[in-house]
């Protein structure tokens, strides 16, 4: 499947990120817990070199818990401070604070040796579109946090949210771009809805999803739609269309509507909390 991406957006986002990153101590990178590999852009490794790094597996409420645990371990082994959360739940984000302190331990020590006490650590959120960056910032900052104005040495217009005495958060997230070169990555981004369906062949995406779920989570399709899971994906799609009455003229199955229905069910976890990637396979 061929996907279009816009180099103009990419270059602008990269430049903005390069500027912002100079101001911060720790990058809190968000990925989607259902696709922790495909929703991560490796370019951040060079962009954020020399910075402390925290990896947040967001939308953990939509992924399979056991797989998410494996991903946490996977990224910890790569030297990240990793944590799985649901950014819509403010309480769950409390776990980030001790991680920031751990990740910035050396910087805090260095400051202390120089006699600089209580200088807040500066953090920024980064990630590809739709991983939950804005949601995370809103939940993490909450309503009570004061925004700090422009400061000497800080680019004009940058807003910092003071979370507490120890941490300031840049109020605009760093936007990374998805890596589309690998078609399997593009497909998984399409499954979770990170690529507009209008740009894709929805039926093709739905059939690929059926193929994946049937193989990795046998029984889930049958459980929701009460149709057999054997045969070609298009046959399963047709059965679902019949059962759900997604019909076109002449009582034939409307494949487009059926595909939209399946994608919507998956994206709203009606098919269960399913992970699309596993560390053993990357
Ligand atoms: P972005 O800034 O990275 O582009 O993402 P944004 O925060 O806009 O979040 C994208 C969508 O993901 C939003 O849903 C948001 O509510 C949802 N979301 C973010 N974090 C989580 C999470 O941890 N768990 C779950 N289940 N959802 C999360 P939306 O469809 O745009 O709106 P709505 O669903 O809130 O109506």
Instruction: From the CA of 89, give the closest atom in ligand 1.
Output: 23
Ligand 1 centroid, distance to 80 Cα (angstroms): 24
**Ligand 1: residues within 6 Å at CB?**
58-59, 61-62, 86-88, 127, 129-135
Q: What is the SS3 assignment for 93-128?
A: HHHHHHHHHHHCHHHHHHHHHCCCCCCCEEEEEEEC
Q: Are 124 and 174 in contact (CB under 8 A)?
A: yes
Ligand 1 centroid, distance to 160 Cα (angstroms): 22
**Residue of minimum CA distance from atom 4 in ligand 1:** 130
Instruction: From the CA of 87, give the closest atom in ligand 1.
Output: 23
The one-character DSSP state at 227 is -
Ligand 1 centroid, distance to 178 Cα (angstroms): 17
Which mean pLDDT values do the consecutive 10-residue runs of the chain (282 residues) have?
61 86 95 97 89 97 98 96 97 95 93 90 95 96 62 62 93 88 91 87 96 98 98 97 95 96 98 96 82
Alpha helices by DSSP H, listed for the chain, are: 7-21, 44-47, 65-77, 96-103, 105-113, 133-141, 183-192, 202-216, 220-225, 233-243, 255-267
Structure tokens at 157: 């217009």
Say what the alpha-carbon torsion angle 256, 262, 268, 273 is, to the nearest 10 degrees. Answer: -150
Report the pLDDT value the prediction gives residue 4, as an integer from 0 to 100: 54
Report the pLDDT value the prediction gives residue 154, as an integer from 0 to 100: 46
Ligand 1 centroid, distance to 109 Cα (angstroms): 36
């Amino acid at each position: 499947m061929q996907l279009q991406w816009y180099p103009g957006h990419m270059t602008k986002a990269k430049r903005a990120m390069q500027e912002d990153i100079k101001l911060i101590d720790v990058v809190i990178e968000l990925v989607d817990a259902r696709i922790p590999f495909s929703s991560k852009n490796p370019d951040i490794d060079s962009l954020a070199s020399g910075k402390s790094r925290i990896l947040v597996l967001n939308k953990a409420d939509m992924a399979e818990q056991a797989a998410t645990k494996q991903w946490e371990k996977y990224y910890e082994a790569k030297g990240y401070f990793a944590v799985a959360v649901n950014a819509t739940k403010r309480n769950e984000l409390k776990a980030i604070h001790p991680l920031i302190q751990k990740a910035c331990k050396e910087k805090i020590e260095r400051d202390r040796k120089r006699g600089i006490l209580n200088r807040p650590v500066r953090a920024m959120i980064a990630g590809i579109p739709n991983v939950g960056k804005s949601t995370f910032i809103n939940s993490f900052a909450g309503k009570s946090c004061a925004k700090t104005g422009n400061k000497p040495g800080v680019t004009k217009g940058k807003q910092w949210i003071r979370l507490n005495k120890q941490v300031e958060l840049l109020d605009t997230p760093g936007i990374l771009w998805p890596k589309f070169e690998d078609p399997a990555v593009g497909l998984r981004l399409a499954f979770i809805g990170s690529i507009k369906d209008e740009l894709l062949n929805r039926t093709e995406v739905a059939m690929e999803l059926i193929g994946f779920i049937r193989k990795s989570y046998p029984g889930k399709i049958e459980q929701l739609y009460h149709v057999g899971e054997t045969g070609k994906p298009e046959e399963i799609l047709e059965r679902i269309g019949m059962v759900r009455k997604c019909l076109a003229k002449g009582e034939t199955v409307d494949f487009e509507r059926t595909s939209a229905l399946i994608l919507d069910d998956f994206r709203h976890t009606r098919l269960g909390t399913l992970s699309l990637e596993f560390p053993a396979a990357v």
